[in-house]
Amino acid sequence: MASSETNSGRATPPAGSRPDHLRIATEEAWATRDMLNLYRQMLAQGTIDDPGFKSLWGFYLSSPSPRATFIIDRLQEMGAPRIQDMDASGIDKQILMLTSPGVQVFDAPTAVAVAKSSNDELADAVRKYPTRYVGMAAVAPQNPQEAAKELERGVHQLGFKGAILNSHTLGEYLDDPKFWDIFAAAEALDVPIYLHPNSPSKGLIEPLLARGLDGAIYGFGVDTGMHLLAIITSGAFDRFPKLKIVVGHLGEALPFWLFRLDYMHRATVSSKRYDFMKPLKKKVSDYMRENVFITNSGMAWAPAIMFCQQVLGMDRVLYAMDYPYQYAPEEVQEMENSPLSVADQKKFYQTNAEQVFKL
């Protein structure tokens, strides 16, 4: 069978290596030519006041390194070469999201327009490979009402399974109720929001940038873990109790912090240290277990995965590769040699994703 064969909806594996479950990779990136051209323009004209964006996309759009050129090529590749990479790594389906920071660095009208046109392009790709690709809607938080509408269009008209938000929007975070039309729409549509990393915002980045630690190595996690915690402590999940947020990189470190987060949140609130920090209906760890799902994007590491399964639950941890940023064709086979039982592997690779994204 040719590797571009798509009707079966399954990767074409080396003979004999087919496991008893699908492998659904849940944080996989793509980009439109138009968006990357806008990034190039903003970098050339110096019209963007976001040091994290300049550091990240200044690198990828100008470096001649094999890493940068491969990634720029594959981000824009939605045809046979991407399917072949999926086959080579045993990935049956990719859940596709517009790469970070997506439209969140544009002015509001541009962001709204690029979200729409990229969603239309993604829907075309999904129509071409319906068993291999799943789409997430790009939305523009710069205009929350339009973002809510675009999410609804994505779900109802384009068949998408949720929204992608790349952490902060030019330094603004989703704990601000002005963005909550987006949460309301996701909750009403019963679809998850993937809170994907962005480089740390201008106010957060300085010491990281000075040391070359602003990117995926650590800065992404600092920004995004803080962001998720801020959403929790803002009371957003008390207001939207059915809202589901998915975060990558094994929860951006928050699972490891759960004990201390509960203790210190309680201590901070009860001592009235900040008058804006209100009591919540539940513990921080309860929201992590009830409203949040995590993926292991970029963390193909059994001990850390098993720790997260232990503290959050076997149904809360999903597989992700983070293609093409962390394309490791051998990682799936290696991880399937982990101590996880066959039943738990099926949850991790397949059924948890099917439930969260309603596939």
Residues contributing to the site for Mn ion (CB under 5 A): 27, 322
Q: Please report the DSSP string for 144-209 in residue order.
A: HHHHHHHHHHHHHTS----EEEES-BTTB-TTSGGGHHHHHHHHHHT--EEEE--PPPTTT-HHHH
Residue 298 touching ligand 1DF (CB under 6 A):
yes
51 binds, among Mn ion, ligand 1DF, none (CB under 5 to 8 A by kind): none
State the nearest-atom distance from the C-beta of 39 to ligand 1DF, in Å: 11
State the nearest-atom distance from the C-beta of 198 to ligand 1DF, in Å: 8
As a dihedral over the C-alpha atoms of residue 87, residue 91, residue 97, residue 99, rounded to 10 degrees, the angle is -60
Q: Please report the DSSP string for 278-299 in residue order.
A: ---SS-HHHHHHHTEEEE-TT-
Number of residues that bind ligand 1DF (CB under 6 A): 12
State the nearest-atom distance from the C-beta of 56 to ligand 1DF, in Å: 6
Q: Quick one: which of 135, 141, 154, 197 contacts ligand 1DF (CB under 6 A)?
A: 197
Q: What phi, psi does 27 have (nearest 5°)?
A: -140, 70
Query: Which H or E run includes 245?
Result: strand 245-247
Distance of alpha carbon 116 from alpha carbon 80, whole angstroms: 24
Q: Which is nearer to ligand 1DF, 234 or 296 (CB)?
A: 296
Binding to ligand 1DF (CB under 6 A) within 310-349 occurs at 322, 325
State the nearest-atom distance from the C-beta of 43 to ligand 1DF, in Å: 14
Q: How far is CA 193 from the centre of its chain?
A: 8
Residue 99 touching ligand 1DF (CB under 6 A):
yes
Q: Which is nearer to Mn ion, 27 or 223 (CB)?
A: 27
Q: Quick one: which of 32, 89, 234, 297 contacts ligand 1DF (CB under 6 A)?
A: 297
Q: Please report the DSSP string for 93-120 in residue order.
A: EEEEEEPTTTTTTS-HHHHHHHHHHHHH
Q: Which is nearer to ligand 1DF, 137 or 280 (CB)?
A: 137
Residue 231 touching ligand 1DF (CB under 6 A):
no
| Beta carbons of 204 and 258 less than 8 angstroms apart | no
State the nearest-atom distance from the C-beta of 196 to Mn ion, in Å: 6
Residue 102 touching ligand 1DF (CB under 6 A):
no
Cis peptide bond prior to 255, omega within 30° of 0? no
216 binds, among ligand 1DF, Mn ion, none (CB under 5 to 8 A by kind): ligand 1DF
Q: Which is nearer to ligand 1DF, 163 or 284 (CB)?
A: 163
State the nearest-atom distance from the C-beta of 80 to Mn ion, in Å: 23
Q: What phi, psi does 195 have (nearest 5°)?
A: -90, 95
Site string for ligand 1DF, 24-63 (x = CB under 6 A): -----x--------------------------x-------
As a dihedral over the C-alpha atoms of residue 67, residue 70, residue 72, residue 78, rounded to 10 degrees, the angle is -140
For 13: left if phi > 0, alpha if psi spans -120 to 50, otherwise beta; the answer is beta
| Beta carbons of 29 and 295 less than 8 angstroms apart | no
Residues that bind ligand 1DF (CB under 6 A): 29, 56, 99-100, 197, 215-216, 248, 297-298, 322, 325
